[in-house]
Amino acid sequence: MWASSPFLLRNARKGRRYWKKAIYTYMVIQTNQRAVTLPARAKTLSALLQGRRSVRQFQDRAVDRKLIEEILEAARWAPSPHGRQPWRFAVLTRPELKTLLADRMGETWQRNLEMDGQESEIVKIRLEKSRQRILKAPVIIIPCLYLEELDRYPDERRQADETAMAIQSTGAAIQNMLLMAYDLGLDAGWMCAPLFCPEVVVDALELDTHLIPQAMITVGYAAADPKRRDRLPLSSLIARFD
């Protein structure tokens, strides 16, 4: 690597002090190049993983389309069964589409909450809270399962396992997006609501009927730092180590 540097080759006959300076300059260039690929918001991967947080309230500030595409690009590199990438994404930024979606999903939420026996006043408050969360999110990414290109099995068991793998992979794609959003100085939140009414979301947004919406990932600039949830100690998560 050193010998192949044109800068150093050109100056091979210079004295010791010159060499020292040349090597130092070369190292700075290398370090700077490396720095570009490091996370922007956190200095290490571990700090990035621990820094990412669920944000539920955003500033009234639009997100540049390039940043949204970087977030989607991160999803593209997630692991997937047979490398088939069984996920597609719908992106909403326009207020009228967010309103339409909130209205349509609201009908299902209301039915579900009433079915749970919740008081009508509580139902009203919770519905309005969710509605505002959707309307005020600058960007909403809806990850959808796309199972059409997965393997087909004659038995139900293995077919169900194939679907489970696709769902696991969707989680990996979502995590990639959350981390990329955070690294870009944005924040994101996860709303599971579409899981309970995928057909409503497909219908409202006129999506391909082969898509199965799984969640809503709200993205924007955090309005405030949220409280973080504590984590269980690592020792309690390891079911067995050997």
Nearest Cα neighbor of 216 from 197, 196, 192 is 192
10 Å CB burial of residue 235 (0-12, 13-18, 19+) is exposed
Residue 32: CB minimum distance to ligand FMN, A: 33
Residues of this chain that bind ligand FMN (CB under 6 A) = 53-54, 56, 189-192, 228-229
List the structure tokens of 27: 């190292």
Task: Pick between residue 150 and residue 181 the one whose CB is nearest to ligand FMN.
Answer: 181
CA distance 216 to 144: 9
Task: Pick between residue 191 and residue 219 the one whose CB is nearest to ligand FMN.
Answer: 191
Which residue, judged by CB position, is nearest to ligand FMN in the bound state? 54
Question: How far is the CA of 179 from the CAs of 32, 49, 59, 164, 172, in angstroms?
Answer: 23, 7, 19, 23, 11
Residue 24: CB minimum distance to ligand FMN, A: 42
Residue 149: CB minimum distance to ligand FMN, A: 23
Instruction: State the virtual CA torsion across 197, 203, 204, 206 in degrees, nearest 10.
Output: 140
CA distance 79 to 172: 7
Residue 217: CB minimum distance to ligand FMN, A: 10
Nearest Cα neighbor of 42 from 171, 185, 146 is 185
Task: Pick between residue 16 and residue 229 the one whose CB is nearest to ligand FMN.
Answer: 229
Task: Pick between residue 32 and residue 164 the one whose CB is nearest to ligand FMN.
Answer: 164
Residue 225: CB minimum distance to ligand FMN, A: 11
Task: Pick between residue 24 and residue 196 the one whose CB is nearest to ligand FMN.
Answer: 196
